[in-house]
Structures are given as structure tokens and as C-alpha cells.
Chain A
Amino acid sequence: MNFDRNEEQGRFPQRWWEDERLKTVQTMDKGDKHLVPFFAPKIYPLEPMDKPFDETELESRFVSAFARILAEHRQLKVYMESCVKCGACMNACHTYQGTGELRNIPVMRADLLRRYYKKYFTTQGAILGPIVGAEKVTLEGLKEMYYYFYQCSQCRRCSYYCPMGIDTAEITRYGREILIQCGFVSQFHWSVLTSMWKTGNHMVITKPGLMDTVEFLEEELKEETGVDIKIPIDEWDADLLYNPSSADFFAYPDTMIGVAKVMHAAGIKWTISSDIIETGNFGLFLHENTMRMLNKRLIDQTFKMKNCKEVVLGECAHGWRTWKMMTKTINGEWVDKKFHYVHLVHKLIELIDSGIIKVDPSRYEGMKVTLHDSCNNSRGAGIIEEPRYVLSKILPDGVFTEMTPNREMNWCCGGGSGILWDDPESINLRVKLSKNKAEQYMSVDPDIAVVICSIGKAHNSFIVHEGYKKELDHVKIKGLVDLVGDAIVDFPFPAGKYAKS
């Protein structure tokens, strides 16, 4: 689908969701007309609907959606035809290691879609049928596919193991898109996307709510540092636009406080636009058109800030991957002409290296800090050495401990692709999915685990404070900028913030 820049019409959309939704309805393909989940009242996580619609329609709907996606994506075609089932991905996946279910091995998971590909899109499947593993679409089969595709955290670790280089994340992503057109979607993902439509962020924060939260955070800052530190909202003459993750306002206020401290210490004229307090893009996980739309919206809203020189993206891993890797190819080459788009980690390096903010490493003396490489940051967008560089500047020697494996071979925490269901049945599953990460934490036994990812913070907090509470409750999950903010010499170290509980 083609998004023309609204600038040509001489205006930016006032309410982006109205414009975009209208455009979506008009331009979405025929198969997308019944974007069922919009109307599906009751779809619980991991429990697909009993009867999404007339079952006779199922096959035609599935095949048309699949055909459309195949025609637009070379990777899916190649991946569907190139797997030799060698089993190299057996031990690559944390979902399999955690749950022990064979269908969670990447090749078996991909096979849930591949069996239909063989049936409807290959000669051998049409002729030889079950011998080559081809199957007809059934409601049961789709339910199975739904169940296992939503357990994939799209961490892409298996693509490092596959001799062919097959990236199962791509398969599950487009598999989920096909499932959406057949009426299956996780309620959690859908509620997040719905709140995105309604308010422009994942946490359903309205502008008055935002101002309230910011006031509260400013009070906290005053209490902590004794200095009046502002968190400016919608100041149109600012030089730097910070695009936070909406969870930073409620769930992880330390990150917001850290950013405010850093910006204040650096003397930067910065602001947050109340229209875009969300870096994240759940479309990346399950619906490509939504991803394009949300990405376009971020671009449009940043372009409103005429005086800004630089746009800093907050600590959100999949949001950063979408920004860095996808923006130019899906929304045009012109995007980075006007602004410098940087990740917060890059900005921190710039500030620390040039001596604009002074940090005092001795504050973290005697602690044990480790770093969790978020999948979309390290594997997906190449932020591998940068956080380590920052940590080497703000921590004294010997404090930082690596987990093994680390860097791009790091285990996913199990919360990737927004698997943050909170109903009681799924919580047991989440505990299983995070088994490998918990074992890593247990072997290192850190005081602070640095996670540069909003979903990662949510899920790692779940691991240490709920899932594996007995062993790991003393671990603190922090963002990188929290630690930088607390290391700045201008402000006192907040007493008790990192104390062992």
C-alpha cells in the first residue's frame, strides 16, 4: 500500500488515527476487508475463537491471504522451500528448551505453515500429499498453528543456527498475519493495537493523564536530587525531541527520571511530543500494514517539530529495529534527511565521550551488574557493543559481569514479540518460556540487570519477581539510562534505590 506524504496536501493529520484508519479501510486488500479481530469480542490469549466465521470460507480465506503474502515477500517463499529438516535448530530455541514441546522447535513450528504451503502452492504437495507432509487447512490445524505461533518470541536466534539461514521470526510474523485474516489473534496483542488506535500509545495515556504523570515525576526528581528538573511536554522550540516508550511513564518511571537527569545535566533543550509517547510498534509482530502505518505516523509527528535537530528514540528494542532497519525501505528514502534519528544509547555515548555529562563510577562499587542483550537490539539492529561501552564508563572495574551466552547469541528472555499475557493460564507458560533466561540469571546472580527494552523490562521483572521469585527476587531490572542518570556527579546518588531487598 502506498502512503503519500500528507505534506503534499499542505497539512499534517490532526488526528492521525482517523486519517490512517480511513486510508487503511480504503486501501487494504480485498482479503483484509474482514479484519475480524476488530469485531471479535472475546478472544483469550492462546485460546483461539471457537467459530470465527463460516467454516466453509476458511480454506479460501487462508489461501488468498497466504498467496498475497507470498507474492510480496521473497523471504517467505525461499524459507518455505529451502528447509531440509536437518535438525540444527533443535537446541537453538528457548521455547522448546523451556516447554519441551516438540512443536516449539523452529523447524516444527515453521512446518505448521509449511504443510499448507506444500498443499496449496507446490506441485509435489498437490500430487504426493501426505508423503511430503502436505495437509489441507482445517480449523483444528489453524488452532494448533495459532497456539504455537504465538509462543514464538521472534528473537531470531534460530537464524544463527540454521545452515540455510532461515529466519523463523519472518515465518511466524507472516503466519500471524494470515491467522488474523482467518480470525485468530491474541487478545493482548489486539488490545495493545486498539489502545494504539485510540490514544496513540500502548498504555492508554491521554494528554491530561500524561501531564499528571509528568508532574508526579518532577516531584520525585525534586525529592531525589533537590534540583528543579523539568520534563518538558510539547515545547515547540526545543532542539531535541525525545520519543519515549509509554511504559516509561507508569511501569518504569526510573527510565524517564534517568533521561530527565541526563538531559538536565547536559543542558539540552529537549521535549516530548504528547502525540508520540510511544516508540513501540506492535505491527512488527503480527501485521505488516499496521507496522507501516504506525511507522508513518511517527515520521509525520516528528516532522511537526520544525525546530528539532535530532530525534532520540527511547529504550524500546523492537521500536528501534523498526526505526533503523525498516523505515527507509517501507516509508521512503527521504526520512532521515531532515533529522538525525539516534538511539538513546548513541546519545549517551556522545554525551559521555565529549565530557558534557560527568559520571562517577565509584557509586556502583561493590555491586554486580549484568546486561541482557534484547533480541531486537542486538540481533535485529546491531546495538551490541554500545551499551557495554556506556557501562564500562559508568561502572568501576570488575562490577560488570557477562552472562553466557551473550551478545548476539544471548538467550531471549521469553517476552519477545510482546508475549506479556497476564491471564492465569498463560502465566504458567510464560514461566516456562523464560526458563533459560532465569538459569542465566541464577548462574551470574547479579544485583542489577540492565535491559534496554520496554517489553524486556516487563518480562524480566516478571521473571525475577514472579516466575522465579524464590531464587531471583533480589535482582533489580533497570534501564541503561537509569544507571547513567544515577551516576551523574551533579546529583546525589539516591539512597536505597539499589539496596538489596
Chain B
Amino acid sequence: MVSNVLSYLAIVVFFVGVPLQVYRWMKAPVVYPLTDFPAPKTAEGAFIKVLLDSFLFRPILLKIYNSTVYSGKGTDLWIGGWVFHVSLALIIIGHIVGIGTLGHQFTILGVSPETSLHMSELLGTVSGIFLSLSLIYLLLRRFFNPIVRVMSDGIDYLIVLLILGISCMGNFMRLNPTYEVEYDVAQRWIMGLFTLHPVALPDNPIFTWHLFLVEILLIYFPFSKLMHSCGIFFARWMITNYDPKKVMVFDWRSKVCEWTGGK
């Protein structure tokens, strides 16, 4: 059941749902520029700034900077959030590449297949532990920070718990040799899924639960706030992009814009 019907359902819902949601956003126009100044003057500059802002969480860093400089109020969000997203990204890439190449991905760096396997396992283990730790941190922060607690709905906890469950099961399988799932077993199962000749799941309850929760997550993804993974680029682009053709600009201003005195 988990292996067949739900897997196909999850794949379809995720890979159809997310583009549909994005298409829904694209359909509506942006009526006027919403630029936050100072803005990059070119589209390339805006593109780079959006990427930096998105992947470094620069606004939260800025907040740390400002709070230490201006108000002395500490902030606790950046470490947890950034470590979580980076380790999550590493793990997703690791799953795809590691299962795709049976852990031999690092051979392109010139190492032997065995070393590559070890490196892959080490990286996966470390990222997994960081993922779980950062999730626990974020969960505790959400619960114990009085203001963040007030602004949270039930679903905010549930999503963190769901991902925490997935990551903990992954760590358990990685660290406990009894429940370990080899790359080739997973690869065989996934190949079976994609070639429409499903094979039976490995006899491993933890793996089944791990998979089940991932499928729940994938099904819920397009309907939830997890769509922020796409929305961040839309929203950031809207406030970063500055198209001089769309606003009134006067060429003689340039000499003022280059003026940097008085700082």
C-alpha cells in the first residue's frame, strides 16, 4: 500500500501541484514596481542580490547586525534556520546522487569507490544529525519564545514534527546497523517505481515509516506554507527588481547617485 498507491499519489500531487501553484501566482500581474531602495540598477545585480538574500538569509543576518548595533536585543533565528535549510538541501541532494550512483558520486574527485561510499555516508550522517538538532532547536524556539508561540498555529508545530520524524528515522537507520538500508536496495525499489514495475519494499518497519512520512510531506507540500520555497524567489524579486523603464528616471541624477560622501 505504502509502496505503491501512496508513492504514485505523492509523486503526482507534488510534481503537478507545485507547478500549478506557481502558475496560479504567475497568472496574476504585478501592477506596479514594489522596489525596496537602495536597489541594484541592473537586472543581473537584482538577480544576484535575490540569490544572496535567499540562500544566506541575509535579512535575518541584517536583523542580527541591527539589533546588536541599535537596540541590543539578541536574535536567535539565523543559526537554526540556516543550518536546517543547508543540511536539508545536502540531504536531498545526497539522496538523489547517492542512491543514483550507489554512493560512488565522489569518484569524480578521483577517489576510489570505497572511499567515496565512506565519504557519502559520513556526509549524510553529519548532515542528518545537524538537521535533527536544528529542527529540535527551531521547535523549542517556537514553543518557548513567548511571542513566536503566540504567532504559531498548530500546523506550524506539526510540520516541524513531521520533518523531525523523517530525519530522526533516517538517522536511526544510518546509525543502527540492524535497520540499515543499502543503496542498491533503495535504488532497486525506486527504479521499480519509475519503470512501473513496482517491487516489494525491503522488510524494514523504520524504512516503511520513513517513506510514509515523506509521502505525507510531499502530498501536503503544494497546499502549505512550504510553498515558501518557491514564493521566496517571487517575493524577493518583486522588492529587489528595479526596472528603469517602468519608473520615471532622469539621467542627470547619476552624478548624485554616485555621491558617497557624508557617511
Contact = CB atoms under 8 A, between A and B. Distances in A.
A436 to B, nearest CB: 10
Interface stretch (A84-92, A221-229, A355-363): A84-92
Interface stretch (A35-43, A194-202, A320-328): A320-328
B228 interface: yes
B25 A400 contact: no
A251 interface: no
B63 A92 contact: yes
Contacts of B60: 86, 88, 161, 163
Interface in A82-140: 82-88, 90-92, 102, 105, 107-108, 111, 122-124, 128, 130-133
Contacts of B155: 124, 128, 131-133
B248 A323 contact: yes
B37 interface: yes
Contact of B262 (A85, A86, A388): A388
B26 interface: yes
A340 interface: yes
A491 interface: no
Contacts of B250: 340, 342, 346
For the side of the interface on A, what is the size category?
35 or more
Given A165-B238, A384-B37, A408-B37, A124 B224 contact: yes
Contact of B223 (A122, A167, A329, A382): A122
Interface residues of B, number: 70
A28 interface: no
B70 A404 contact: yes
Interface in B26-53: 26, 28-39, 53
Nearest to A86: B77
Contacts of B33: 325-326, 329
Contact of B71 (A91, A107, A288, A336): A91
A44 B29 CA distance: 35
A42 to B, nearest CB: 33
B32 A350 contact: no
Of the listed residues A71, A84, A342, A389, the one surrounded by the most CB atoms of chain B closer than 10 A to its CB is A84
A78 interface: yes
A310 B260 CA distance: 27
B53 A165 contact: yes
Contact of B63 (A88, A326, A336): A88
A88 B59 contact: yes
A350 B153 CA distance: 54
A215 B174 CA distance: 86
A105 B149 CA distance: 13
A84 B138 CA distance: 12
A165 B31 contact: no
Contacts of B109: none
A88 B62 CA distance: 10
Contact of A392 (B248, B253, B261): B261
Contacts of A179: none
A86 B239 CA distance: 19
A379 B248 CA distance: 16
A85 B239 contact: no
Contacts of A90: 147-148
A74 B261 contact: no
A367 interface: no
A210 interface: no
Contact of B59 (A165, A328, A341, A379): A165
Interface of A: 70-75, 77-79, 81-88, 90-92, 102, 105, 107-108, 111, 122-124, 128, 130-133, 156, 159-167, 170, 288, 323-330, 335-336, 340-342, 346, 349-350, 353, 378-382, 384-386, 388-389, 391-392, 400, 404-405, 408-409
17 contacts: A72-B29, A73-B30, A73-B31, A75-B34, A77-B28, A78-B231, A78-B238, A82-B228, A92-B63, A102-B151, A105-B147, A159-B239, A164-B232, A165-B232, A165-B240, A325-B33, A408-B38
Rank and list the top 4 A-B pairs by shortest CB-CB distance, nearest first: A82-B231, A382-B37, A133-B153, A165-B236
Given A78-B234, A81-B21, A330-B32, 15 more contacts: A73-B28, A74-B30, A75-B238, A78-B238, A84-B228, A85-B152, A87-B77, A130-B154, A131-B155, A163-B232, A167-B239, A327-B248, A350-B252, A382-B37, A382-B39
